[in-house]
Amino acid sequence: MLGQITSALIAVVVAVAAAAAYFAGSNWLLDRLVGGASPARDRAVGRIRPWLFAAPALLFLAVYLVYPVYETLRLSFFGRNGETFVGLANYAWAFGDGEFLESIRNNIVWLIVVPTLSTVFGLVIAVLTDRIWWGNIAKSLIFMPMAISFVGASVIWKFVYDYRSAESTQIGLLNAIVTGLGGEPEAWITLPFWNNLFLMAILVWIQTGFAMVILAAALRGIPEDTIEAARIDGAGELRIFWRIMVPQITGTILVVWTTITIIVLKVFDIVLAMTNGQWDTEVLANLMFDWMFRGGGDFGRGSTVAVFIMIAVIPIMVWNIRRFRAERRD
């Protein structure tokens, strides 16, 4: 075990040394071989150097993200081993497949519920904690789940949802509360449709902290005098919240919303760990992973499912790029 850590540390040193050697070496070579002799050659150095700086990053991006996006698109038109062209057969299969349609349905519910609840909770908590002296401690605690892995969170919540038959003592918090109030215990995560909401609660629990931190920073950015002015005019706190605060941070709310939307589209760990798509809880990301390995792996169908996730992401991607460009023009 110690040897393994040592080799990881050696890998760190070797990788950093290699990167440093590349950057130092290539820039030194550039100055030696091209630069110095004349203004024209100095300009050439100026043209080449940016590419030396960016090359490793661009190479990684090309190999690990750009090429795979193209390749996944291509594979979605091919059969299970990626060798026979099948045209639109995978897409036709998808729209006739019960599991796929169930995933689409569930993903839509996830997309509505999780970003909405996380953003609303985040905003409410950001506003409330701003007014109390122990607000930072409260925020820190609500933010904590952000550090916990989705699998870890799944264990935490599976324990909350734990079910024992009605005769035995409930050790899951939720069923203990339900039976304490006189209700019947339920096996929450096998309850079709509603179980989806119990899985979503886990992601809301994790993402609310994110929304809260970003929105709290935005709220602090609102000029104090606009709020003071409204107060002097006799506006109530709720009115100030809706009429002064929310309009001024709409942009940030959208950013939070879309960021969580992206996370929701990729949600995989929670579903895999909690139900693995059983009891009508399948989602696209888990279905994709499933097809990637099912029966030795069906790369065509797996890719097709991935393409659907990508299609859902594209509007947000375009919006992000446009926002970025608008910012650059400012």
Partner 1 sequence: MAARRLTGGRIAVHLAVLALVVIWTLPTLGLFISSLRDKDLLAVSGWWTALSSVERRDFARTGTAADQVERDGRYVIAGNLLEGRQGWTISRFGTKVSAPGEFAAGNPAPLPGGGEITVERDGDYAWTSAEPFTQDRGRRILFVAEAPPHFTIANYVEVLTSEGIGQSFVNSLTVALPATVIPILIAAFAAYAFSWMRFPGREPLFAVVVGLLVVPLQMSLIPLLRLYNDVGTAFGTESKGYVGIWLAHTGFGLPLAIYLLRNYIGSLPREIIESARVDGANHYRIFTRVVLPLSIPALASFAIFQFLWVWNDLLVAMVFLGKSEGQIVLTSRLRELLGSRGDNWEILTASAFVSIVVPLIVFFSLQRYFVRGLLAGSVKGG
65-124 binders of partner 1 (CB under 8 A): 65-69, 71-72, 75, 82, 121
Instruction: Figure out which of the listed residues 118, 196, 259, 281 binds partner 1, where binding follows CB under 8 A.
Output: 259
What minimum distance in Å lies between the beta carbon of 92 and partner 1?
20
Q: Given the rule CB under 8 A, which of 62-70, 86-94, 109-117, 185-193 is the region that contacts partner 1?
A: 62-70
Handedness of CA 226, 232, 233, 238 (dihedral sign): positive
Q: Indicate which single residue of 88, 112, 155, 229 sits in contact with partner 1 (rule: CB under 8 A).
A: 155
Interface pick for partner 1 out of 104, 135, 187, 280 (rule CB under 8 A): 135
268's CB contacts (< 8 A; 6+ apart) are: 150, 283, 285, 286, 289
CB of 91 to partner 1, least distance (A): 16
**Quick one: which of 160, 171, 149 has its CA closest to 198?**
160
Which residues are registered as beta bridge partners of 78? 85
Among 142, 189, 199, 283, binds partner 1 (CB under 8 A): 142
Say whether residue 271 binds partner 1 (CB under 8 A): no
Closest CA to 207 of 129, 137, 246, 150: 150
Phi, psi of 78 (to 5 degrees): -120, 165
240 forms part of the interface with partner 1 (CB under 8 A):
no
| Region from 85-93, 97-105, 109-117, 213-221 binding partner 1, contact rule CB under 8 A | 213-221
In the complex, what is the shortest distance from the CB of residue 39 to partner 1, in angstroms, rounded to a whole number? Answer: 14
CA 157 to chain CA centroid, nearest Å: 19
Residue showing tokens 């609303």: 120
- Near partner 1 by CB under 8 A, which window of 89-97, 99-107, 192-200, 284-292? 284-292
Of the candidate residues 187, 246, 255, 279, the single one contacting partner 1 (CB under 8 A): 255
Inter-residue contact 35 to 45 (CB < 8 Å):
yes
**Residue of 210, 253, 277, 283 that binds partner 1 (CB under 8 A):** 210
Interface with partner 1 (CB under 8 A), residue total: 120
With binding defined as CB under 8 A, does residue 166 bind partner 1? no
Integer Cα distance of 45 and 109 in angstroms: 55
Choose one: 90-98, 101-109, 163-171, 185-193; the region binding partner 1 (CB under 8 A). 163-171
Stretch in the footprint of partner 1 (CB under 8 A) among 92-100, 111-119, 140-148, 181-189? 140-148
Provide, rounded to whole angstroms, the least separation between the CB of residue 121 and partner 1: 8
**226 binding partner 1? (CB under 8 A):** no
Which one of 117, 123, 200, 218 is in contact with partner 1 (CB under 8 A)? 218
**Angle at the Cα of 309 from the Cα atoms of 144 and 146, rounded to 5 degrees:** 5
| Interaction of residue 160 with partner 1, rule CB under 8 A | yes
> Taking CB under 8 A as the rule, does residue 36 contact partner 1?
no
- Minimum Å distance from CB 95 to partner 1? 19
Residue 85's beta-bridge partner residues?
A: 78
Nearest-approach distance from CB 98 to partner 1, in angstroms: 21
Rounded to whole angstroms, the Cα distance separating 49 from 41 reads: 12
